[in-house]
Structure 1
Amino acid sequence: MDALLIPFSLLWGGFAIFWEWVTLHGTPHSRAPHDSPILAPLWGVPFVLVGLYIIFGRFITDARMRANTIYGITNKRALILTGVIRTTLRGFDLRSLSDVSLSEHRGGTGTITFGSAASWAPWATFVTPSWPGMGGYARPSFDLIPEPRRVYETIREAQRKLG
């Protein structure tokens, strides 16, 4: 996903900053800022802020979310405790989870995802939980955990015991 978001964020942010520069300082052929009404620079501010967020802020938000997330497994449930601004505990009954998938990454980490993609918002695969308000739409998962194969086998064993 970063293969698309990084170029897009640089184009968005670059154009927004260029817009602000031109409206505040003008071009070699204009006498701005006197030629620019106050609306032009103000119009660009939200675009600059969004650009800065998608260039830098989403990584900071993602790191804060990961630092404040705890994953757990009981004999009956998978638990995800998150909390940057407010604490949220999500629990998933292992007996009813039909689709548990493992994705192993380099460096010994991996992600375990619960539920099928069709059961969640299909467009949610294009955004990450670091986008404000999108965490509830993403499929529940244990993201970038150490020893993912061991955790996956623990979940599958608990599911077998539940019948």
Structure 2
Amino acid sequence: MLNLDFEAEKQLGPELIGNEKLVWAGRPKKGIVFRAIDIFIIPFSAIWLGGFIWMTTSSNDFNSMPFRLFQIPFYAAGLFMLFGRFIWDSMMRANTVYGLTENRVIIKSGIFSTKTQSYYIKSIPQINIREKSEGRGTIELNKGGFLSGVGMRGNWEPPIPQLELIENARDVYNTILKLQHS
């Protein structure tokens, strides 16, 4: 039996059509999450930021006012890549809810404005699951098309819609499959 997250259910209520009912409602994992790509991005970001700090502190040639103004976007990019993207990603997941009805998968998210996406279960050509040992996982709702093989999660929106880092992912996945074939 799937659990209904009460707060997620309340947020998804206005999205239901007619007498549609939620079969499952949930949220992604909260807090800071490290991903496999971070093995490369964190050192690159540290080198990027360290290089600019070293340049501005080691030579008087780089201390003129025009050059300091030119450096601001590079410092901002380095700080975002090293720290800010984790905070942004955490805020995005904190403001995301997922719902599953008999007919649709609903994804509602956003920080400054709310975006609601709806996918009819029977029209999703491929569903993939990635699980961790504790039962948490990500379900990808592959729509097909040009980006169907690209699965890199950025800090804004993945190219493939997904129910990311949810509890009991296997149960939700199996429920979607049963609804597809009913």
8 Å contact 2:104–2:120 — kept in the other structure? Answer: yes
Q: Which residue in the other structure is 1:19 paired with? A: 55
Q: Distance in 2 between matches of 1:54 and 1:104?
A: 26
Shift of 1:121: 7.2
Q: Distance in 2 between matches of 1:145 and 1:68?
A: 14
Runs of 4+ off more than 3 Å: 116-119, 124-127
8 Å contact 2:124–2:143 — kept in the other structure? Answer: no
Q: Cα 1:120–1:56, aligned 2, differ >3 Å: closer, same or farther?
A: same
Structure number with greater CO (CA < 8 Å, separation at least 6) is: 2
8 Å contact 1:104–1:148 — kept in the other structure? Answer: yes
Q: Which residue in the other structure is 1:45 paired with? A: 72
Aligned runs of 1:56-135 on 2, under 5 Å?
A: 56-115=83-142, 119-120=146-147, 125-126=151-152, 128=154, 130=155, 134-135=156-157
How many residue pairs match? The answer is 146
Counterpart secondary structure, 1:102: strand
Q: Which residue in the other structure is 1:145 paired with? A: 166
Q: Which residue in the other structure is 2:178 paired with? A: 157
Q: Which residue in the other structure is 2:40 paired with? A: 4
Shift of 1:116: 5.9
Q: Which residue in the other structure is 2:25 paired with? A: none
Counterpart secondary structure, 1:63: helix
Q: Cα 1:10–1:118, aligned 2, differ >3 Å: closer, same or farther?
A: farther
Q: Cα 1:96–1:61, aligned 2, differ >3 Å: closer, same or farther?
A: same
In the alignment, structure 1 segments of 5+ residues that lack a partner are 27-31
Per-residue Cα deviation, 1:25-56 (whole angstroms, up to 9, x for no partner): x3xxxxx38x8431121111110000000000
Q: Distance in 2 between matches of 1:3 and 1:36?
A: 33
Per-residue Cα deviation, 1:43-85 (whole angstroms, up to 9, x for no partner): 1111000000000000000000011000011111111000211
| RMSD (Å), alpha carbons | 2.1
